[in-house]
Amino acid sequence: MEAAKQKPNQPEMKRKPAGESGGTDSAAGAGASRQVAISNPNEVASLVLVQIDAVNAKKDELTIAIKGLTDVTKQLVRAYGEHTKRIQQLELRVKELEGARPQPKTQG
């Protein structure tokens, strides 16, 4: 639990919001992140607001994607219905044509 406390001779490190790159934190290695305890309520509020904004932005992206999928689905359903209707009309026409032509004589 002592790892979260800083040594007196080190400068205070602040946690950066997601998406920002830090000079010394980046140098630690890919995927390595250093978390520091934040005790200032203003910093906590700022981080929470940044995360809320990120969630809202992602929610907006998903809403746009869902609306796009809904539009495409409606178009597909409409096209499917039109094709089904046309196929039924063609089937009726084929039956009419088959009934109008003379039947071949069968031997036997």
5 SS3 class: coil
Q: What is the pTM of this model?
A: 0.48
Dist CA 32 CA 102 (whole Å): 84
Dist CA 11 CA 102 (whole Å): 100
Dist CA 32 CA 25 (whole Å): 8
Dist CA 83 CA 95 (whole Å): 18
Read off the pLDDT of residues 12-41 as tens digits, 9 standing for 90 and up.
444 554 444 444 444 445 556 777 788 889
Read off the pLDDT of residues 86-102 as tens digits, 9 standing for 90 and up.
999 999 999 999 988 77
Read off the pLDDT of residues 48-82 as tens digits, 9 standing for 90 and up.
999 999 999 999 999 999 999 999 999 999 999 99
